[in-house]
């Protein structure tokens, strides 16, 4: 996937990123990467840690994660609201997928 890198406003560039889930092992003797997932029993501890670190506390973990990501991506993309929303929604989807949330 290509993202617009606007670190230099005079010369925006494309930055290519990928999701590890889209890759496959190509060699027989390579080690598969550890893909983390959160279990239900870990959710209260994760919510508490996220609230302490990011200052966003919500009993609904989906809302808490969305609030954190929106806050972190707010200044990332300059003034282009559509791009900010795209980045935030993509990040929220990836995080919620790993956390087993809808």
Residue 79 clears pLDDT 70, i.e. is over it: no
More confident residue, 2 or 43: 43
pTM (2 d.p.): 0.61
Give kind and range of the element (H or E) at residue 13: strand 13-16
Residue 51 clears pLDDT 80, i.e. is over it: yes
| Percent of the residues in the chain that have a pLDDT greater than 90, as a whole number | 20
What pLDDT is stored for residue 16 in this prediction?
Answer: 75
Residue 15 clears pLDDT 60, i.e. is over it: yes
Torsion angles phi and psi, residue 9, rounded to 5 = -60, -25
């Amino acid at each position: 996937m290509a993202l617009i890198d606007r670190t230099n406003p005079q010369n925006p560039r494309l930055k290519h990123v990928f999701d590890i889930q889209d890759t496959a092992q190509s060699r027989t003797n390579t080690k598969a990467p550890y893909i983390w997932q959160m279990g239900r029993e870990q959710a209260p501890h994760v919510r508490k840690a996220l609230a302490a670190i990011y200052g966003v506390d919500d009993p609904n973990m989906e809302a808490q994660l969305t609030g954190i990501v929106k806050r972190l991506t707010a200044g990332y993309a300059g003034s282009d609201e559509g791009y900010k929303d795209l980045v935030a929604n993509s990040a929220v989807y990836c995080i919620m997928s790993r956390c087993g949330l809808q």
